[in-house]
Structure 1
Amino acid sequence: MRLRHPSGTPLHLSYCTNVHPAEDLAGIVGQLDTYAVPIRATLGTGVLGLGLWLAAPVAAELAADPSLRAKLRGELDARGLEVVTLNGFPYRSFHDPVVKQAVYHPDWTTRDRLAYTLDLARVLADLLPDDAARGSVSTLPLGWREPWSAETSDLAARRLDALAEGLAAVESATGRVIRVAFEPEPGCVVETTAQAVAHLSGMDTDRLGLCLDLAHLACAWERPADALAALRTAGLPIVKVQLSAALETADPEALREYVEPRFLHQTRNPSGGAADDLDEALDRGLPGPWRVHYHVPLHAEPAAPLATTIPVLREALKELAGGPEPLCDHYDVETYTWGVLPPALRPETPGRLAAGIAGELDFARAELRELGVTG
């Protein structure tokens, strides 16, 4: 959706399609009609933004063939859909029965991760609306925290230098600016604001920056105002914001029905206690209260004693979009866990999933309007 900040700056609000399993071009086009078109109709918006997820094989196919990129752009335009951001975190197989730590591979020490991300940049340059100022691609925060060493850090830094050079080449060839955003996440090399400053401050900040996922920020128990102030001081730009909410509770036993086999649900308490998955935290008896990396629908409050980190989202949006100038112009709703919610909360049909995503986008739009954003 196209929104406008009181300063006049356009803001783009979208939803991330990594909630859908399609990993080939035919499947991606099919999901436009199944989900995106009904969502746009429900919201009554002229144009609906998608944070498109393209698995590595289809990204490579599109990057190699201008006619395929033109075809995809035409399919989007015909349905009133637009893309200014891509999710380049999951490489492929994001809806396998078990994903867990596989989602962090290949990491930023590898040529595969570099090639995939530059493929996405080439594709996005042709998908961008003509009047969009720039595009963004979000990616993982270097890699999982172990094994990681000074040597792997140096290798990743060289990959990031090559990434910046590749993005400059895309801009030279197409005239479109594409920036890549590293997304701090619990358990990774870059989890906290301090780690972002330590590991990423030396990169080319004209083309590289951060993707601020608000569920991840909450799970780190960081205050948004403090985190954003530290990033500003370090000169690290916010390229993209993922609008997401994590689970929170002072009664961990209430979370047992959320244990599931596909995704990793890192769990944190405010005193620094940590577990890499929800079942591990329950088995160890990690002291509460907990925040759990389990993206839950923005607009649906769970039953007590469970809550969500929506208050953190609101605090962050006030800092990001409530000032005289916005700190970011790309906002992507990223609730990829609809299909693994407890059965009573899980959408049973494509229509119900589309309605749920529309509810999240309507919620996000309303929150931004509370800050004076229009559209």
Structure 2
Amino acid sequence: MNYNFDEPLNRRGFGSTKWDTTAGDVLPMFVADMDFKSAPAIIEAIQAKLDHGVFGYGRDQEFPGVIKKWFQDEYKVTIKEEWLTLLPAIVPVLAAVSRLREGRVLINTPNYHVLLAAPGKAGKGTILSPLKNTEEYYEIDFDDLANRIQDDVKLFYLCNPQNPVGRVYKYEELRELSRFAQERGLIVISDEAHCGLVYDRPHLPWFSVDEYAANQSITIMGPGKTYNMAGLPFGFAIIPNPVLREEFVKTCYALSNPGILNVAAAKAAYGSSREWHLQLVDYLKGNRDYLEKELKSISGVKFTHVEGTYLQWIDFRPLGIPNPYQWLQDKAKILPNNGKPFGLDGYVRINFGTTRARLEEAVKRIKDNLPKG
């Protein structure tokens, strides 16, 4: 079956954070959800629960097996079902796990703004290490990490695929990070929310990198980004180490169980939506290629290649635009994300998870409003 991602979809008036908080003449290209309907299997699974009409506490004994098969099919990685812990959402967990150990948390910047803020919300401090910008992409600066880390740091937060810069880390980089963590006794918390949206190489789940990564880590995933169901929060953690897994469960005890609609949707996503997912990634890759081609045609604009996610990280300041975030709103009538909460003021993050026609309109607005001369 072919899925039509070019279908225009009106999201105004349906309680959309992205569309219903934005003026009618402005194109919202900020919050990370997509302007596409979710896979038919997801909609059907939710409808079946609605038709049943009972929304009590739920338990789906088949779900761990679905995830186990998904890991095998997607990554050729074998997991044990007991490694899996279901979560009501990803964001609350990012704050909760910072309490696993005393001391500050080591994090790269720029980074997902919620991940950056999470330890502070739990009363923990952070040490920030800038990623190295090679002009083509960003990479982890291990020398900087080594210079900044202090003895009290026992946790490192990894974001892969990296939001907002769109990096998908190679095995060699992840292996080096594992060695760095092992030498310093760090537990790695890996946020892999965008793991289903990669274009240039397969995603590598952190726990699969090597033995240390498996034993001293918490890998967090969820269907929200890949299957466009962020409004049905759900996630899961993969923790092979049973002692660490028990600590994690105790730390997250106050978090609720996932709702039955959310679990049903996630099961349909991972178990019955593969063809939709493959076509989605192909469509988004086309959007990425189109956007990068258009940006390259604007002399002076700086951006790095997006290997994963549907988010483009851009610096318009070399064009003589001192505040690109405000300029895009006032002149181009586009609302991006401001780079400052992600750790780099002056940059913007643009969401290209939309129809090609809307993306083309956004590019036209940018080009039509560039400074003259």
When normalised by structure 2's length, the TM-score is 0.30
Structure of greater relative contact order (alpha carbons < 8 Å, 6+ residues apart) = 2
Higher gyration radius (CA)? 2
When normalised by structure 1's length, the TM-score is 0.30
